């Protein structure tokens, strides 16, 4: 996935009082992508096409 799943402006909102490095969103995007891929594998292994919170 080349698409950004993380909204940089929202990071700044959450990290009030802290500086946000330019590469933070990219690093978080990679982590989220990995989490989603693993969750999709678990859903598939359980015979579902719906990814649920319990898959994370």
Mean of per-residue pLDDT scores for the chain: 94
∠ at Cα 2 (49, 20), nearest 5°?
Answer: 110
**Domain residue spans in the chain?**
8-55
The pLDDT tens digits for 18-35 are 999 999 999 999 999 999
34-50 burial: b if 16+ Cβ within 10 Å, else e: eeeeebeeebeeeeeee
- H helices of the chain, where? 8-14, 24-45
pTM equals 0.82
* pLDDT-derived band at 42, boundaries 50, 70, 90: very high
Q: Which residue has the tokens 């009082």?
A: 17
CA nearest 25: which of 50, 5, 39, 43?
A: 5
């Amino acid at each position: 996935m080349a698409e950004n799943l993380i909204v940089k402006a929202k990071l700044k909102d959450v990290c009030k009082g802290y500086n946000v490095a330019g590469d933070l969103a990219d690093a978080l995007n990679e982590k989220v992508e990995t989490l989603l891929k693993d969750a999709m594998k678990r859903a598939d292994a359980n015979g579902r096409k719906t990814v649920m919170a319990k898959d994370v």
